[in-house]
Structure 1
Amino acid sequence: MALFTEDRLRNRVRNQLSKGGYGSIYDSYETRAKQILNESISRQKLFSSQSKTYDIFLSHSSSDSEIVAGLKLEIEDLGYSVYVDWIEDPLLSRANVTKETALTLQERMKNCKSLIYAFS
């Protein structure tokens, strides 16, 4: 039995979206899911990503933002902190990965207790 299914993760983020305040009903779920995740950026008042530690580094494909949003919410509901690169470090460019980008991600991984690789 799977702990998280794709349907469960999609439903989790859709339920969060239905609570309101996340874009227009005409926006795709993916767009609205990104809005949920981007809220995390404004919560980073006390710590920078460089010094903050996380329970989990969530490695994923950027094309799976809705599923990643649901997975992040489910994991956080279990009481764990989750690092997602484009939320915690929005200036990192996935379109132009450089040596500096790779080094930054390696440093972030060092600040995480574990890694989850989400694949689809």
Structure 2
Amino acid sequence: MPTFYTKAEARAFASRTLQKSFTTDSKRVLREAVRSTASHDRFDIFLSHASKDAELILGVKALLEDQGFKVYVDWVEDAQADRTKVDRENADLLRHRMRQSNSLIWVATSAASESKWMPWELGYFDGFKPGQVAVMPLVENPGATFKGQEYLALYPVVGKDRYTDGRQDVFVEDLGRQWSTLRSFGKGTNTWSRYTG
């Protein structure tokens, strides 16, 4: 059973990022990241998230970038987009960005269930890149379990776990069935391994 990332871990990554930038505004730091990612025409991970979770998302983005991934966050790379509007223009932009991404990670928080865009992003991405969608629960306490909305059980989860020899890694696990490393999953090259015995 994987150990999920905690909100405290995400906030710690956000804090380190904020300290590096000498500012305390999460949204500003994310927008400043545009300069470094504006030229990207490909992303490893499309981060589907609730915009209310700015600090947590800054941390998750930093955590994933620390592992070598190029991460798409809409209000960073496309700051001009108005996420509050559900319209054709925003949908076209998000479709384009999803097509530029190898995988989608759906960040599961309490605010996620209120998002207008997250269920749509999940369904769209799963429709054109099946097997490249995962849910990343952010839990309150280490060792906490995750039970999200019923449809999220269709997707594997991102968590920390150990190989049989004791080495720790970050995995995408379809619990009880199969697993891949986050490294391969995020790059779009995952090969699922079956659980044995």
Q: TM range, normalised to the smaller chain?
A: 0.7 to 0.9
Q: 5 Å matches for 1:1-120?
A: 1-19=2-20, 21-23=22-24, 32-44=25-37, 47=39, 52-120=41-109
CA contact (8 A) 2:21 2:29 kept: no
- Which amino acid is 1:13 matched to? A
How far apart, in 1, do the equivalents of 2:18 and 2:80 lie?
25
Percent of paired sites with the same residue: 35
> Comparing both chains, which one has the higher relative contact order based on Cα–Cα distances under 8 Å and sequence gaps of 6 or more?
1
* Structure (1 or 2) with the larger CA radius of gyration: 2
- Structure that is richer in strand per residue: 2
Divergent runs of 4+, >3 A: none
Deviation string for 1:58-113 (max 9, x for gaps)?
Answer: 00000000000000000000000000001111111112221121111011101100
Number of equivalences: 108
- What is the CA RMSD across the aligned residues, in angstroms? 1.7
How far apart, in 1, do the equivalents of 2:89 and 2:55 lie?
28
- Residue segments in structure 2 that go unaligned for 5+ positions in a row: 110-197
- Which amino acid is 2:84 matched to? A
- Residue segments in structure 1 that go unaligned for 5+ positions in a row: 24-31
- Which amino acid is 2:29 matched to? I
- Structure that is richer in helix per residue: 1
Q: Secondary structure at the match of 1:118?
A: strand
